[in-house]
């Protein structure tokens, strides 16, 4: 990564990309400290009142904890499903492995709105709409394919030789997985976990179909808020979310090395 | 070992391969490989790149499934036994060290699988590190080692479990000449001490000839010849073996029974044939004398003779290399420089002679 100095062209391109990606944050940050009653840029007055307002907004707080619990559960389940599935598809290669892999990752190609509509129709009949279980299942449909994708890349980049060497030394397949495969995949697993968590935490379109008066997630609540009111409250929430996302990424990076996971595929 | 007698009774070696074949689609990477290796024997697999050496080794280790054939060790059929039960130590061409474990951790892994006591594991790891001269590097990670050091760790990891069969896939390819010589001697020594039946894959014919009991020469997935280094050198079974092992002159000619016509000259080989053939003789087996005079007939049997003219002469230390034009082609001749005779000069007329017994003849597709 840091062995070669980047060329000037690359530096300029990367800077432009950063500016493009960070532009929304640059707008939202001053907006969140607005003292106005309505969203306007630039703000006429400054204050932290909208931050204070968040904490008296019970529905938002409640939705935040629903999103948090949901993302954590979805992440854990996605990993538990995708890890063995990846191992089976990439290493054991049963007949039709490629076709199965394409099938399992197909939801990645569907627009979430289409997916949401399909799930809505199915779940309506099963009475899952507006329930936590329904939300969980819907999010799994989106997150598990991501997990499968990233883990498969991470495993495919592990030389099979290393696992085979363990086998020649007398290790049974389960031991090989525990002592060699899994430790070597750990950066990939961490990256997958972070990705699933953020995808679920951020998911809006699908959640709009699944939520109701009884249960709602943070993005959905924010959406509804913007629909009915034009105050800078959501800007304040957004800034907190950006901070929270950053925290997740930094934590994973510090403990396991995201750069390693994404750049070297585990 | 009680099983050894059963293997002997069946007329098989300690390690026995029968009709071992690996097909990828229509392509046979290894084709009908049958051979027997005795207990404690060191056999080289020698052959050009892509001839199926690694594939054979992987089938023996159980890492890839054979398309056909049978693998037995000590009379026990292992064809469908999983790798982890085969007790074979393997050095991979790519080393395949565990990148997340220290060098000592790599060596300890196989011993842990064998559930040895902690103290015993530590003792054997230390021993193995000393064996490959890496005592000081036990705490390093593989990524912090040079290629040659990694290769030695791979070797130590395979040896430390004292397997009944050792499979070495070019274990010395990345070492410098000096270390390579040392490690050859080391491997031979350990292998003899442990009586480990060993297959040693190599590209390097000198390595195969000098350190192994027998050599299996492979070509395009097939076994061309299995024999002692002397067998291969003195009695090659095919034109491929003759040309692959050592330097040799190839002379295309037409055989008519006992004689082979070459332009105006008649040569003979140890056997008779009809039709297009290739005669082969090693450069250092050709005697060369100045002038057109026939050299005195030696006592060691009938000889072939050709008259010619020196085309090139190159000094190479202990040898003088010549190219001699004879019967319309160039032949290589080597003479020892031990006698301090002045070298023959280009343009000089010479007479070449060599034993009929040293003349190999192989049929040639016309
Ligand atoms: N998985 C595979 N699929 C198709 N062909 C293969 C596969 N593995 C090996 N081969 C082919 O089988 C042949 C033998 O390969 P192998 O690796 O055994 O050669 P080798 O003798 O070890 O060569 P080298 O000395 O270069 O290591 C080669 O032609 C190779 O291309
Ligand atoms: Mg090979």
> Which pLDDT tens digit goes with each residue over B254-264?
888 888 888 77
A142 part of a folded domain: yes
Q: State pLDDT tens for residues A64-91.
A: 999 999 999 999 999 999 999 999 999 8
| B288: enclosing H helix or E strand | strand B287-290
Per-residue pLDDT, averaged over B210-234, amounts to 94
Instruction: Give the model's confidence band at A251: pLDDT under 50 very low, under 70 low, under 90 confident, else very high.
Output: confident
> What is the CA(B245)–ligand 2 centre distance, in A?
19
Residue B62 burial by CB count (10 A; 0-12/13-18/19+): exposed, middle or buried? Answer: buried
What is the signed CA dihedral for B118, B120, B125, B128, rounded to 10 degrees?
A: -170
pTM: 0.81
Instruction: Give the model's confidence band at A10: pLDDT under 50 very low, under 70 low, under 90 confident, else very high.
Output: confident
Per-residue pLDDT, averaged over A216-225, amounts to 90
Residues B226 and B210: their CA atoms lie apart, in Å, by 15
Dig out the tokens for B324 from the structure: 């001699």
Instruction: Give the model's confidence band at A210: pLDDT under 50 very low, under 70 low, under 90 confident, else very high.
Output: confident
Residues B320 and A167: their CA atoms lie apart, in Å, by 52
Q: pLDDT: is B269 or B297 the higher one?
A: B269
Question: Which of B82, B94, B98 lies at the smallest CB-CB distance from A180?
Answer: B98
Q: State pLDDT tens for residues B104-135.
A: 999 999 999 999 999 999 999 999 999 888 99
- Chain A interface test: which of B83, B90, B159, B169 (most A C-beta within 10 Å): B83
A7 part of a folded domain: no
Q: State pLDDT tens for residues A94-106.
A: 999 999 999 999 9
The predicted pLDDT at position B295 comes to: 57
The predicted pLDDT at position B1 comes to: 39
Q: What percent of chain B has pLDDT over 90?
A: 60
Q: Cα A28 to chain center, whole Å?
A: 21
- Chain B interface test: which of A170, A176, A182 (most B C-beta within 10 Å): A170
Residues 6+ apart with CB under 8 A from B308: B324, B325, B326, B327, B331, B349, B350, B351, B352
Local structure of A56: helix, strand or coil: coil
Lowest mean pLDDT among A17-21, A34-38, A240-244, B5-9: B5-9
Instruction: Give the model's confidence band at B5: pLDDT under 50 very low, under 70 low, under 90 confident, else very high.
Output: very low
What ipTM describes this predicted complex? 0.81
Output the domain CATH number for residue A112. Answer: 1.10.3720.10
Residues 6+ apart with CB under 8 A from A99: none
Ligand nearest to the CA of B202: 1
pLDDT above 80 for B10: no
Question: Domain tally for chain A?
Answer: 1
Pocket, ligand 1, Cβ cutoff 6 A: B 24, 29, 47, 49-55, 93, 203
The predicted pLDDT at position B309 comes to: 92
Q: State pLDDT tens for residues B149-203.
A: 998 999 999 999 999 899 999 988 878 888 888 888 888 888 888 888 999 999 8
The predicted pLDDT at position B341 comes to: 76
Q: Which residue among B52, B173, B216 has the greatest number of ligand 1 atoms within 8 angstroms of its CB, and so is best to mutate?
A: B52
Residues A193 and B50: their CA atoms lie apart, in Å, by 42
Residues 6+ apart with CB under 8 A from B4: B14, B39, B74
Q: What are phi and psi of B317, to 5 degrees?
A: 75, -105
List helix spans (H) across A105-257: 112-126, 132-156, 160-168, 173-176, 182-202, 205-210, 218-228, 233-256
Dig out the tokens for A69 from the structure: 């619990």
Q: pLDDT: is B122 or A229 the higher one?
A: B122
Q: B22 pairs with which residues across the strands?
A: B30
Question: Which of A161, A166, A168 lies at the smallest CB-CB distance from B88?
Answer: A168
B223 touches chain A (CB under 8 A): no
A31 part of a folded domain: no
pLDDT above 50 for B280: yes
Judging contacts by C-beta atoms under 8 Å, the chain A residues touching residue B87 are: 170
A20 part of a folded domain: no
Q: What is the largest CA-CA distance in chain A?
A: 72
Residues B278 and B254: their CA atoms lie apart, in Å, by 8
Cis peptide bond prior to B11, omega within 30° of 0 = no
The predicted pLDDT at position A20 comes to: 87
Specify the residue for token string 């450069």: B283
Give residue A103's domain range: 49-261
Residues B142 and B129: their CA atoms lie apart, in Å, by 14
Q: State pLDDT tens for residues A21-50.
A: 888 888 888 888 888 888 887 888 888 888
The whole-angstrom distance between A159's CA and the closest CA on chain B is 8
A9 part of a folded domain: no
Per-residue pLDDT, averaged over B206-231, amounts to 93
Instruction: Give the model's confidence band at B2: pLDDT under 50 very low, under 70 low, under 90 confident, else very high.
Output: very low
A14 part of a folded domain: no
Judging contacts by C-beta atoms under 8 Å, the chain A residues touching residue B97 are: 162, 165
Q: Which residue among B21, B24, B29, B45 has the greatest number of ligand 1 atoms within 8 angstroms of its CB, and so is best to mutate?
A: B29
Buried/exposed code over B107-129 (b: 16+ C-beta within 10 A; e: otherwise):
bbbbbbbeebeeeebeebbeebb
Judging contacts by C-beta atoms under 8 Å, the chain B residues touching residue A164 are: 61, 63, 83, 92, 96
The side-by-side arrangement of strands in the sheet containing B303-316 is B287-290, B349-355, B303-316, B319-326, B329-336
Q: State pLDDT tens for residues A111-142.
A: 989 999 999 999 999 988 889 999 999 999 99
A93 touches chain B (CB under 8 A): no
A55 part of a folded domain: yes
pLDDT above 80 for B346: yes
Q: State pLDDT tens for residues B18-44.
A: 999 999 998 999 999 999 999 999 999
A22 part of a folded domain: no
Instruction: Give the model's confidence band at A265: pLDDT under 50 very low, under 70 low, under 90 confident, else very high.
Output: very low
pLDDT above 90 for B204: no
Instruction: Give the model's confidence band at A1: pLDDT under 50 very low, under 70 low, under 90 confident, else very high.
Output: very low
Lowest mean pLDDT among B26-30, B207-211, B298-302: B298-302
CA distances from B117 to B108, B113, B123 (A): 11, 11, 10
């Amino acid at each position: 990564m840091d062995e070669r100095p980047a060329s000037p062209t690359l530096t300029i391109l990367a800077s432009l990309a950063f500016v493009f990606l960070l532009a929304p944050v640059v707008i939202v940050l001053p907006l969140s400290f607005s003292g106005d009653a309505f969203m306007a840029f630039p703000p006429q007055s400054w204050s932290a009142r909208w931050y204070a307002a968040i904490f008296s907004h019970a529905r938002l707080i409640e939705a935040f904890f629903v999103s948090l619990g949901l993302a954590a559960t979805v992440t854990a389940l996605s990993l538990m499903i995708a890890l063995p599935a990846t191992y089976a598809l990439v290493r054991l290669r049963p007949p039709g492995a490629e076709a199965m892999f394409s099938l399992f990752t197909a939801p990645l190609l569907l627009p979430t709105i289409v997916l949401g509509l399909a799930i809505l129709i199915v779940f309506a009949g099963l009475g899952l709409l507006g329930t936590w279980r329904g939300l969980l299942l819907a999010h799994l449909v989106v997150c598990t394919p991501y997990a499968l994708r990233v883990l498969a890349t991470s495993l495919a980049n592990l030389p099979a030789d290393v696992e085979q060497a363990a086998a020649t030394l007398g290790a049974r397949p389960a031991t090989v997985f525990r002592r060699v495969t899994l430790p070597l995949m750990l950066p990939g697993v961490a990256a997958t976990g972070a990705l699933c968590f953020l995808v679920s935490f951020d998911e809006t379109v699908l959640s709009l179909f699944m939520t109701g008066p009884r249960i709602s997630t943070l993005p959905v609540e924010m959406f509804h808020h913007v629909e009915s009111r034009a105050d800078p409250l959501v800007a304040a929430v957004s800034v907190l979310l950006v901070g929270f996302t950053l925290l997740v990424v930094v934590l994973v990076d510090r403990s396991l090395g995201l750069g390693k996971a994404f750049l070297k595929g585990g | 070992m009680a099983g050894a007698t059963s293997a002997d009774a069946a007329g098989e070696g300690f390690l026995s391969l029968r009709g071992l074949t690996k097909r990828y689609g229509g392509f046979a990477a290894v084709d009908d490989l049958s051979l027997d290796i005795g207990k404690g024997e060191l056999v080289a697999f020698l052959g050009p790149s892509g001839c199926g050496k690694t594939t054979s080794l992987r089938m023996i280790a159980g890492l890839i499934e054979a398309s056909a054939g049978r693998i037995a060790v000590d009379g026990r059929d292992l064809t469908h036994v999983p790798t982890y039960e085969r007790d074979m130590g393997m050095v991979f061409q790519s080393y395949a060290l565990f990148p997340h474990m220290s060098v000592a951790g790599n060596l300890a892994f196989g011993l842990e699988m064998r559930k040895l006591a902690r103290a015993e594991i530590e003792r054997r790891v230390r021993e193995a590190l000393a064996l490959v001269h890496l005592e000081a590097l036990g705490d390093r990670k593989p990524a912090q080692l040079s290629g040659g050091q990694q290769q030695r760790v791979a070797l130590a990891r395979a040896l430390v479990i004292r397997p009944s069969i050792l499979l070495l896939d070019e274990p010395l390819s990345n070492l410098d000449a000096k270390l390579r010589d040392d490690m050859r001697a080391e491997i031979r020594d350990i292998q003899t001490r442990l009586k480990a039946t060993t297959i040693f894959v190599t590209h390097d014919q000198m390595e195969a000839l000098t350190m192994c009991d027998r050599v299996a020469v492979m070509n395009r997935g097939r076994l061309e010849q299995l024999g002692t280094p002397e067998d291969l050198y003195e009695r090659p079974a095919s034109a491929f073996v003759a040309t692959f092992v050592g330097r040799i002159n190839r002379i295309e000619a037409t055989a008519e029974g006992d004689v082979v016509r070459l332009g105006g000259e008649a040569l003979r080989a140890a056997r008779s044939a009809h039709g297009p053939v290739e005669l082969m003789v090693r450069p250092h087996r050709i005697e060369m004398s100045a002038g057109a005079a026939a050299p005195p007939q030696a006592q060691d049997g009938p000889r072939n003779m050709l008259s010619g003219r020196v085309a090139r002469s190159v000094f190479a230390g202990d040898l003088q290399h010549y190219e001699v034009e004879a019967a319309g082609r160039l032949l290589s001749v080597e003479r020892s420089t031990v006698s301090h005779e002045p070298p023959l000069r280009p343009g000089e007329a010479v007479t070449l002679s060599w034993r009929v017994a040293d003349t190999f003849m192989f049929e040639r597709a016309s």
